[in-house]
Structure 1
Amino acid sequence: MEMQGVHKSDVVAPVTPLATGQVAAAVLYAASFAMWLYAEYAARQKRIAVAHRHVGGDDDEEQQAGSPLLKESSGPKSGKEVAAVQPSLVSQEVPSTDSDTPEICRVLRLDREALTACRPTLRAAVEFGTIMLWLYLADRTTVFPTSLKSYSRDLLGFLFLVLTVVAGVTSLRPARTPLLLNRSQTEEWKGWMQVLFLLYHYFEAREVYNAIRVFIAGYVWMTGYNNFSYYYRTKDFNIARFCAMMWRLNFLVAAVCIVMRNSYMLYYICPMHTLFTVMVYALLGIGAKYNDHRWGVFLKFAISFVVVFVCWDIKAIFYALWGFPPLRWLMVYTDPRHPSADPLHEWYFRSSLDRYVWIHGMACAYLHPWAEARLQRLDKLTRSQRLLIRAALASAAAGVMLLWIQHVYLLPKKEYNALHPYTSWIPISAYIVLRNITPNMRVYSMALYGWLGRITLETYIGQFHTWLATGIPDGQPKLLLAFLPSGYPLLNFAATSAVYVFISYRLFHLTDSFRQVLIPDKASGRVLVRNAVSAASAAAVLCAVGALIVYWSPAVQHYWPVALKRDVGTRFETRL
């Protein structure tokens, strides 16, 4: 087992005071917790009151049944008498509310009805805040120890093989129809790639670096493929759906950046997918009427190639574009352990590696109906014809893959990176052909990998702070989180993995629950603007409160981080 050496200077970090955003997040968590408790109390009191009214109503009925006087007077009432009684009952049980008042304002005024109605959202906010607190405690404090990474090719391969066998035996499921690149298949694809991507980080398996580059290209390819498929097929450029997609890609990473005091570019997958999603939306949304013409689509593909070439291959234009202050503020990144003179280098390097593959994904989405029709015709041929054509297709795909492996994949890291932007589509295309060569291969997929594929964003972000450890703001995850002593690496792997996957699963659902509140499906522009203004106003107030606390409270600035974090180096001293 090869130990991946980490020098002591790489892990020792000075104690840093809490930032305004971190204090604001703590205030929001405390306020959400208090409002949630009050909402639960109000709901309980309401249930008790309703129960008492029901009991009281039963007693009144019994008294009326036993009283001769009431019996005599309890004849059928006229319609006017019934109408005179019913409004008073309604007014007692359903208090009037101001429908024009935004829900968030009523919640902040501690309106009981609004708080009771918002209990699920408040409960989700408390759960989300608790998870953020866990990430901070696990990564930035001495609550849990850490250990060094160690690489074992045999162990990495064994873990992936066992998980694949378990997934194949227990979760192999048929899709409804044997469609080319159906959703179950693409989610499975994302799932097994994500497992290898995470194991690469956990073991720091540098020898599979080139394979990981292909996997990341596969994610970007799917960004182009899936978004083009949706917009081209549905012609739905509704701003609410676009905002929902931006929320999905950026809400969690924004929250983690605030709580952990990290740069957006530390989680480079998020800005990459955001950028290419915006580019697909703009490409098809602008001049949407031309999407129905073949020449219009081809022209848009050509425009996308030209834009990518100009903005990336001409480095001066890239730096001029992203050097614009608002964009630069988002995209700069410097590793504190290995400072760089060029803070935009990380963004240029990461985004340029996969700058063309999303266009190939769009092209595949455009050609999907044609390829699907050809596969259906192939399935209707005689058995000998099917075998011959499938064997030829499989041989061609395998041959191209072998040539790519021999002449590109096996190159050293730097040489491979130079060719990757222009060749990553080759293994992706070969995989698609081999994975869809027969109807059974198209229809069956492993649901376990599909489930993991749906939470890839959460597992990607969460790995930094609850499976691995960075230790400092903007630090790379050089260490492993440890629950058990250093003599039990596999048990520790199992324990931390279970917690990590559960947290990622919960973050996936919490992100969607908040999206449903702020960006409802098919929401109008007025609703989106109102919710955006309300959220921005609340964020501004929280930032102001956080700034005041940081400015006026030396205890918050210095004592709390020292008490929790102290010297990061003491956590690793015995292991170096």
Structure 2
Amino acid sequence: MALLGPVTHAQVSFLIGFVTIVVAWAYSEYLAFKKKSISTKLRHVDVGLSEEESHNIKEDDKAVLLEGNVIKSTPSGPTISSTFSTIIRFITLEESFLIKHRMLLRAASEFGLLLAYFYICDRTDIFGTSKKSYNRDLFIFLLLLLIIVSTVTSFKIHLDKSPFSVKPILFLNRHQTEEWKGWMQVIFLMYHYFAAREIYNMGRVCVASYIWMTGFGNFSYYYARKDFSFSRFAQMMWRLNFLVVMCCIVLDNSYMLYYICPLHTFYSLVVYGLVAVLNKYNESKGVIGVKFFLSFLVIIIVWEIPGVFEVLWDPFTFLLGYKDPNRLKENLPLMYEWHFRTGLDRYIWILGMMYAYYYSTMERWIEKLDELKPKGRILIKTIIVMISLTAIYLWFEYVFKMDSLTYNKFHPYTSWIPITAYICIRNVTQSSRSYTLTLFGWIGKISLDTYICQFHIWLRSNAPDAQPKLLLTIIPDYPLLNFMLTTSIFMMSSYRISELTNTFKMAFIPSKDSKHIMYNMIAGATFMAILYSFSFLFLKLPQFLV
């Protein structure tokens, strides 16, 4: 097996940590089995004792760290001493500690195996590669086939059930937005896999829609719930960045290679800051109006005035700088990619916030519209549909049909047109906003995971920081069979990673317990420092001996 890249300290640290966790998990399974065997023997000796032991074992099996975390709270809360005590108990393989956290160790081992599979697929020569090939007929066939299968098998009507009535769910409900993300993600993934360059502009609209949802979803949550706690903030950052950080470590990639993650992180941070600052005045329309105005003003100054972007973002080059090794001859600045990506969708997140702010107004307006007499209701809804279709047609004819370079210049100012028109048409009637295709909804729930996983176990780059311009090939010479196999593994892995990420989030970032989170962060940083020290010794010791 040949490695397609240098071995780094971070990779060795991961390997040491992974082996340590697997050993600890295997030992915890042995201890649990041993405990169960002892209780089985005692069952024949003392019935009363048997019942008690059986109860204890069932409780042990349910301890998935959803109720207990790596640092267990004491009556007075976690402390520095308890933090380092936890690390020592793990390193020394204390039996009670391992049995208690057996399920978390199992989850961590599974996650490590999946990341190892990432490395094998993308950084070794065990599997082959093939070039991307686009065939419009095959592309449309596969897309329509998925839509037909989804319609036949997963069509569902969602109803808002209350104790007193059953009524259709209102517009832009969670089921609908998950479906929206799902079918966009399918288009996005197929665009990458088949190198369908002719739908490049559609890919830009899909990314804009995701960024719109970032503004809409985050503003809705913070404005309605007024939850600006550190725990909520940390959970959001964990969901957006845990997997991508691990991929950067294991595969020696830059953060900006997975540009969707820094984009969502940046806009989530901005929305959080806008709503959190002077949040006690958020009920004032004037204050919200000023916040929206300042958002537009800052974006205009930073992205429209030459030179301002470079001055503002230069200190963050270490984090957001990126250069594709395949484009070194173009001599692009390190912050080019960040400037390009943020510039494309610099306004749409603000519109997402504005739509969220006026959501309740629209909700009341739709309720009144649905209560009108049939003739008036049909007339108004017909007008809405006709205006939306006209807007889409004009946008399609005069903007969307442009070549990609020209389109990118107009995209920041026009992406709101198809998004708004889609929302209007999708929600024009009670029935249309109530039904979804749950298969696409399922894909939408793991859209972030599929976006990251595609780089390494579906596509292939073969080098650190390189764009995935090749296809992973497990079955040579049979492209469709290979597509079926790699896609199946890719989707199953993405789903499991999504589940594991959520498990770790609940274990390490408990809700409404900021102090506990801080001590978990200290424990994690300490453990990482220990691993890095060992990796330094492993890589440097041979040089010292020579």
Secondary structure, counterpart of 1:151 in structure 2: coil
1:354 and 2:345 are equivalent in the alignment: yes
Report which stretch shifted further, 543-552 or 442-451: 543-552
Matched with 1:106 is 89
- C-alpha displacement at 1:426, in angstroms? 0.7
Residue 121 and residue 264 in structure 1: after superposition, are their counterparts in 2 closer, same or farther (change >3 A)? same
1:522 and 2:512 are equivalent in the alignment: yes
Secondary structure, counterpart of 1:318 in structure 2: helix
CA contact 2:343–2:412 (8 Å) conserved in 1: yes
CA contact 2:4–2:124 (8 Å) conserved in 1: no
Cα offsets for 1:90-124 (capped at 9, x unmatched)? 9xxx9xx9956344442233121111011111001
- In the aligned structure 2, how far is the partner of 1:231 from the partner of 1:501? 32
Unaligned runs of 5+ in 2: 61-71, 161-168
Residue identity matched to 1:494: M
Secondary structure, counterpart of 2:398 in structure 1: helix
- In the aligned structure 1, how far is the partner of 2:295 from the partner of 2:15? 43
Q: How many residues align?
A: 507
Matched with 2:280 is 289
**Aligned counterpart for 1:493 among listed residues 466, 471, 483:** 483
Residue identity matched to 1:533: I
- In the aligned structure 2, how far is the partner of 1:512 from the partner of 1:484? 33
Report which stretch shifted further, 221-230 or 103-112: 103-112
Secondary structure, counterpart of 1:481 in structure 2: strand
CA contact 2:73–2:516 (8 Å) conserved in 1: no
Residue identity matched to 2:453: G
Matched with 2:297 is 306
- In the aligned structure 2, how far is the partner of 1:467 from the partner of 1:540? 33
**Aligned counterpart for 2:243 among listed residues 224, 235, 252:** 252
- In the aligned structure 2, how far is the partner of 1:166 from the partner of 1:371? 34
Matched with 2:191 is 200
1:538 and 2:527 are equivalent in the alignment: yes
In the TM superposition, what are the counterparts of 1:82-231 in structure 2 within 5 Å?
99=74, 101-102=82-83, 103-177=86-160, 178-231=169-222
1:390 and 2:381 are equivalent in the alignment: yes
- In the aligned structure 2, how far is the partner of 1:317 from the partner of 1:553? 48
Matched with 1:42 is 31
CA contact 2:42–2:49 (8 Å) conserved in 1: no
- C-alpha displacement at 1:15, in angstroms? 5.0
CA contact 2:3–2:124 (8 Å) conserved in 1: no
Secondary structure, counterpart of 1:150 in structure 2: coil
Matched with 1:411 is 402
- In the aligned structure 1, how far is the partner of 2:486 from the partner of 2:497? 16
- C-alpha displacement at 1:54, in angstroms? 2.8
1:17 and 2:6 are equivalent in the alignment: yes
Matched with 1:321 is 312
Residue identity matched to 1:287: L
- In the aligned structure 1, how far is the partner of 2:397 from the partner of 2:173? 31
Residue 535 and residue 155 in structure 1: after superposition, are their counterparts in 2 closer, same or farther (change >3 A)? same
- In the aligned structure 2, how far is the partner of 1:547 from the partner of 1:457? 33
Cα offsets for 1:141-164 (capped at 9, x unmatched)? 111111110001111111111111
Secondary structure, counterpart of 1:236 in structure 2: coil
- C-alpha displacement at 1:377, in angstroms? 1.0
Secondary structure, counterpart of 1:445 in structure 2: strand
TM-score, normalised to structure 2, is 0.90
- In the aligned structure 2, how far is the partner of 1:18 from the partner of 1:60? 54
Residue identity matched to 2:96: E
- In the aligned structure 2, how far is the partner of 1:14 from the partner of 1:143? 9
Residue 59 and residue 442 in structure 1: after superposition, are their counterparts in 2 closer, same or farther (change >3 A)? closer
Matched with 1:372 is 363
- In the aligned structure 2, how far is the partner of 1:60 from the partner of 1:314? 77
Residue identity matched to 1:501: M
- In the aligned structure 2, how far is the partner of 1:318 from the partner of 1:43? 57
In the TM superposition, what are the counterparts of 1:538-557 in structure 2 within 5 Å?
538-553=527-542
**Aligned counterpart for 2:440 among listed residues 416, 426, 449:** 449
- C-alpha displacement at 1:235, in angstroms? 1.0
Cα offsets for 1:13-43 (capped at 9, x unmatched)? 9953200000000001100000001111111
- In the aligned structure 2, how far is the partner of 1:315 from the partner of 1:140? 40
- In the aligned structure 2, how far is the partner of 1:44 from the partner of 1:521? 32
CA contact 2:220–2:357 (8 Å) conserved in 1: yes
- In the aligned structure 2, how far is the partner of 1:151 from the partner of 1:505? 27
1:267 and 2:250 are equivalent in the alignment: no
Cα offsets for 1:280-305 (capped at 9, x unmatched)? 00000010012101111111101111
- In the aligned structure 1, how far is the partner of 2:150 from the partner of 2:366? 27
Cα offsets for 1:284-343 (capped at 9, x unmatched)? 00100121011111111011111212222234222122211xx21110111111113411
In the TM superposition, what are the counterparts of 1:422-441 in structure 2 within 5 Å?
422-441=413-432
Cα offsets for 1:152-186 (capped at 9, x unmatched)? 11111111111111111111112233211000000
- In the aligned structure 2, how far is the partner of 1:136 from the partner of 1:553? 24
1:463 and 2:446 are equivalent in the alignment: no
Residue identity matched to 2:534: V
% same residue: 43
TM-score, normalised to structure 1, is 0.85
Residue identity matched to 1:113: S
Residue identity matched to 1:124: A
Secondary structure, counterpart of 1:143 in structure 2: coil
Matched with 2:501 is 511
Matched with 1:10 is none
Unaligned runs of 5+ in 1: 1-12, 62-85, 555-576
Residue 537 and residue 139 in structure 1: after superposition, are their counterparts in 2 closer, same or farther (change >3 A)? same
Matched with 1:484 is 475
Residue 218 and residue 56 in structure 1: after superposition, are their counterparts in 2 closer, same or farther (change >3 A)? same
Matched with 1:239 is 230
Secondary structure, counterpart of 2:6 in structure 1: coil
1:277 and 2:260 are equivalent in the alignment: no
Coordinate RMSD, CA, aligned: 2.1
Matched with 1:3 is none
- C-alpha displacement at 1:472, in angstroms? 0.5
- In the aligned structure 2, how far is the partner of 1:146 from the partner of 1:335? 19
Matched with 1:557 is none
Residue 418 and residue 60 in structure 1: after superposition, are their counterparts in 2 closer, same or farther (change >3 A)? closer
- C-alpha displacement at 1:58, in angstroms? 4.7
Residue identity matched to 2:490: Y
Matched with 1:566 is none
Matched with 1:573 is none
Residue identity matched to 1:509: E
